[in-house]
Amino acid sequence: MRPTSKHRSFTTVFLVELWERFGFYGMAALLVLFMIDKLGFEDSRANLTWGAFSALAFAAPAIGGWIGDRVLGARRTMIAGAVVLCSGYLMLALARQELPYLFAALSVIVVGNGLFKANAASLVRRIYEGDEARIDSAFTTYYLAINLGAAASMLATPWIKDHWGWSAAFAVCCAGMAIGILNFLLMYRTLAHIGSPADSQPVCWKRVAGIVVGALALCLFTALVLEHTLLATFTIWAAGLSILSIFVYMTIRAAPAERAGLLAALILTLQVFLFFIFYQQQYTSITLFALRNVDPRFTFFGHTLFTWSAAQFQALSAIWIIVLGPFLVLLYNRLASRGHDAPVAVKFTLGFAAVAASFFLLAVSGQFAVDGRVSSWFVVWSYALYALGDLLISGLGLAMISRYVPIRMSGFMMGAYLVAAGVAQYLGSAVANLAQLPPAGMQAALSLPLYMRLFNGLGWAALGGMTLALLLLPLLKRLSLAHQSNTTELEEASTTIERPAVTG
């Protein structure tokens, strides 16, 4: 595929992903606060409900990836997921403030995310198939799409909620997804030649009917899981262990030349698992910390520049990723052009160091609190460090799968990676509950020490992740070299087979 054609195809996926994430993260910015403020949830229940929802939303793409690879096609499955997501956001906007309606809407969003997420990433992989040097750059740029949409919606939806109410804010999420669908339809021709083998086959309506029945069953099951914490815990851990078992089975059954890459992908995925425990804090403990212990005013030399609500602080992660991401893309491209690109494992190690510094900065901020509230600038710079770690770990997680996993497994493995992220996020919600307050203890002076201890502990945990990543560098280097050598041999063998015979 020519570079111009690749760029057009990538732009189409980039834009639909941007608007899809606009809807998802706009909803995410509000959900925990909605449950506490409007439904009367305690911290622990709100955190765990959000954790279960996000875990299921991340786990469902393992099924959606398989549907895209084998049944419906990656393009078709992605756009079907976008339509379902739009419906889920509309349900949130129309729902009354009662649990059954909330759980029904969230279950539809889980199904939509399952169909959309893995297949959008799989299309990026297929666009850059055979151009390994550009994969890290492409997925970092793709990650910018996620954060452009997230930043815009996380700033907009809390403001809309404050002025026009919760329903209006959720309706904006629905409108964003609708724009993404329209954009995809207008630019569809640029992706007509990109997709999984199933995209080139006629639609089998019996299979479509089976997918619809399965989606309805998943909706009912998700609503049940969200209502029962014990069932949620069992389901999420069962999903994680099942995916791990399938991964190990696929590695054992894979061709010997593929095993080094798959083993490297497994080790790096386990590191990403640890990262997503930290990632979940921005929706739970850090948001509640901003609500109770952060001065909402942004001041400069005693003058108030502007004021944010607690939910809007979540946008800082996306804003910093947008600022820092282009510099990393330029750096990756320059290193790739010179043949000196740093291994993914080294980038993961640096990412954990940045995350550790981010949490330690939040822990230190408590020493400068006034009346139990810290300056908003501590949160700003903490998110800058966190965003750098996010770019180096989560931003390259999908690129890592693309680099090490055979393309015939890409849809499923993208989904399996997201399952690991989902299980970690549920665990992250449980970690956030270490700083939960009793119903009568919402005073800032009481909550501040709890959050300081939590953030300090998370900083040390991230430092442990960095140490582990350092210790694994030699092993990952050997596996990466073996993978590159095996890939080169397979490509040479394929070229030899395809070369026409020369007759004398």
Q: What is the pLDDT of residues 336-387, one digit of tens each?
A: 777 776 777 888 899 999 999 999 999 999 999 998 899 999 999 999 999 9
Report the pLDDT value the prediction gives residue 178, as an integer from 0 to 100: 95
Q: Is the pLDDT of residue 221 over 50?
A: yes
% of the chain with per-residue pLDDT over 70 = 89
Sequence-distant (6+) residues with CB within 8 A of 291 are: 33, 310
Task: Determine the Cα–Cα distance for residues 496 and 492; give it in Å rounded to an integer.
Answer: 6
Q: Is the pLDDT of residue 459 over 90?
A: yes
Report the pLDDT value the prediction gives residue 128, as an integer from 0 to 100: 75
Strand runs (DSSP E) across 188-343, as ranges?
297-300, 303-307
% of the chain with per-residue pLDDT over 90 = 34
Q: Which H or E element spans position 430?
A: helix 410-432
Amino acid at 406: P
Strand runs (DSSP E) across 244-292, as ranges?
none
Q: Which CATH superfamily is domain 3-490 in?
A: MFS general substrate transporter like domains (1.20.1250.20)
Q: What is the DSSP letter of 348?
A: H
Name beta bridge partners: 468. Answer: none
* Domain regions of the chain by residue span: 3-490
**Three-class SS of residue 373?**
strand
Q: Which H or E element spans position 153?
A: helix 135-164
Q: Are 122 and 76 in contact (CB under 8 A)?
A: no
Amino acid at 66: W
Q: Are 271 and 348 in contact (CB under 8 A)?
A: yes
Give the Cβ contact number of residue 311 at 10 Å.
Answer: 27
Task: Determine the Cα–Cα distance for residues 307 and 287; give it in Å rounded to an integer.
Answer: 15
Among 262, 258, 267, smallest CA distance to 472 is for: 267
Report the pLDDT value the prediction gives residue 410, as an integer from 0 to 100: 66
Q: Are 383 and 475 in contact (CB under 8 A)?
A: no
Q: Are 113 and 61 in contact (CB under 8 A)?
A: yes
Report the pLDDT value the prediction gives residue 86, as an integer from 0 to 100: 95
For 424, list phi and psi in degrees, rounded to 5.
-65, -35
Give the Cβ contact number of residue 256 at 10 Å.
Answer: 7
Q: Which range (260-264, 315-319, 388-392) has the least confidence?
A: 260-264
Q: Is the pLDDT of residue 163 over 60?
A: yes
455: confidence class by pLDDT, cuts 50, 70, 90: very high
Q: Are 328 and 153 in contact (CB under 8 A)?
A: no
182: confidence class by pLDDT, cuts 50, 70, 90: very high
Name beta bridge partners: 79. Answer: none
**pTM tops 0.85, yes or no:** no
